[in-house]
Amino acid sequence: MTTNADFGLSRIGQISVRAKDLAASVAFYRDQLGIPFLFEAPPKMAFFQCGEVRLLVGEPEAEFDHPSSVLYFRVDDVAAAYEALKGRGVEFKDEPHLVHKAEGYELWMTFFTDPAGNTLALMSEKR
Q: Where are the domains of the chain?
A: 14-126
Mean pLDDT of 21-41: 97
CA–CA gap between residue 34 and residue 43 (Å, rounded): 24
Tell me the per-residue pLDDT of 83-114, one tens digit each, with 9 for 90 and over.
999 999 999 999 999 999 999 999 999 999 99
The pTM of the full predicted model, rounded to 2 decimals, is 0.85
Task: Return the CATH fold of 14-126.
Answer: 2,3-Dihydroxybiphenyl 1,2-Dioxygenase; domain 1 (3.10.180)
* pLDDT for residue 65: 80
Nearest CA to 85 out of 113, 54, 124, 57 is that of: 113
- What separation in angstroms does the CA of 108 have from each of 18, 28, 62, 83, 123? 26, 23, 36, 14, 6
pLDDT at 2 over 60: no
- What separation in angstroms does the CA of 118 have from each of 9, 69, 76, 83? 26, 8, 23, 20
- What separation in angstroms does the CA of 82 have from each of 3, 7, 90? 45, 39, 9
- Tell me the backbone φ, ψ of residue 37, rounded to 5 degrees: -80, 135
CA–CA gap between residue 109 and residue 73 (Å, rounded): 10
* pLDDT for residue 9: 81
